[in-house]
């Protein structure tokens, strides 16, 4: 017994409803049947595929011990102050990346979209400086702060991708930051509700 994809006319019998697939099927003399309409799964989006293929790394990133401790209020104040200073330096490099994207743009529409993003970052920087002041950090201290190895590694990687590649390459390099913040923001209410997700330290 074997299944032919295209059986000869002599081997074919009248079509009947296939019990296994619950659809109209072409039945063969050997008793096997092939569904004419197979149910297809909805294809994954590019983001779903990327995060699925790097699930362990993505979860370690979006559920990092720093984020979890910040959520439950156990993060030491000095760690938060360090984050505030590094985030200020990060915003500077992020603004540069968006400006580079404007240079790489191929249309006025792309430039306007990036201009809006850049304006938002510049506004965020002002808010950040004001928030840092509440933590006893002046802008002069923020400017004196050396960039951490992690800040340098990621931001220069982003700028390198933008310099060597296309606008799409630049967007791809920026994506983990933007999407990661969004995913963490939607997860915080769930974490605060007391769901048992282990804290990762690193």
Residues in the chain: 202
Q: Which residue has the higher pLDDT, 187 or 128?
A: 128
Cα 72 to the center of its chain, rounded Å: 23
The radius of gyration computed from the CA coordinates of the chain, to the nearest angstrom, equals: 27
Where is average pLDDT lowest: 8-22, 57-71, 98-112, 155-169? 8-22
Q: Residues 44-65: what's their mean pLDDT?
A: 89
What pLDDT was estimated at residue 87?
Answer: 97
Neighbours of 110 (CB within 10 A): 14
Q: What SS3 class is residue 197?
A: coil
Average pLDDT of every residue of the chain: 82
Q: How confident is the model at residue 36 (pLDDT cuts 50, 70, 90)?
A: low
pLDDT value at residue 170: 97
Task: Give the model's pLDDT for residue 200.
Answer: 44
Q: Which of 3-17, 71-85, 108-122, 170-184 has the highest mean pLDDT?
A: 108-122
* pLDDT, position 76: 93
Would you tell me the crossing angle of helices 55-62 and 167-192 to the nearest 10 degrees? 60
Enclosing H/E stretch for 125? helix 108-134
H-helix or E-strand containing 23?
Answer: strand 23-27
Q: Say what the pLDDT of residue 106 is.
A: 95
The pLDDT value recorded for residue 44 is: 87
Do the Cβ atoms of 121 and 181 come closer than 8 Å?
no
Note the pLDDT tens digit of each residue in 55-101.
999 999 999 999 999 888 899 999 999 999 999 999 999 999 999 99
In whole angstroms, give the CA distance from residue 188 to residue 184: 6
Q: Burial, 142: exposed, middle or buried (Cβ in 10 Å; 0-12, 13-18, 19+)?
A: buried
Alpha-carbon dihedral angle through residues 100, 102, 103, 109, given to the nearest 10 degrees? 160
pLDDT at 39: 58
Residues 6+ apart with CB under 8 A from 19: none
Q: Is the pLDDT of residue 25 over 80?
A: no
């Amino acid at each position: 017994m074997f299944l032919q994809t295209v059986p000869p006319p002599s081997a074919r019998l009248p079509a009947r409803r296939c019990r296994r697939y619950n659809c109209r099927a072409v039945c063969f003399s050997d008793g096997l049947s092939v569904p004419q309409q197979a149910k297809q799964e909805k294809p994954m989006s590019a983001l779903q595929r990327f995060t699925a293929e790097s699930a362990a790394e993505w979860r370690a990133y979006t559920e990092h011990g720093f984020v979890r401790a910040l959520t439950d209020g156990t993060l030491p104040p000095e760690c938060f102050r360090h984050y505030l200073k590094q985030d200020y330096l990060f915003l500077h490099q992020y603004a540069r990346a968006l400006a580079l994207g404007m240079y790489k743009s191929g249309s006025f529409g792309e430039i306007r979209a990036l201009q809006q993003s850049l304006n938002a970052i510049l506004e965020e920087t002002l808010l950040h400086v004001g928030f840092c002041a509440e933590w006893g950090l002046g802008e002069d201290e923020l400017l004196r702060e050396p960039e951490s190895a992690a800040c340098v590694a990621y931001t220069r990687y982003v700028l390198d991708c933008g310099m060597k590649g296309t606008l799409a390459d630049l967007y791809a390099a920026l994506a983990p930051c933007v999407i990661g913040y969004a995913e963490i923001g939607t997860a915080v209410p769930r974490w605060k509700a007391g769901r048992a997700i282990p804290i990762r330290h690193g």
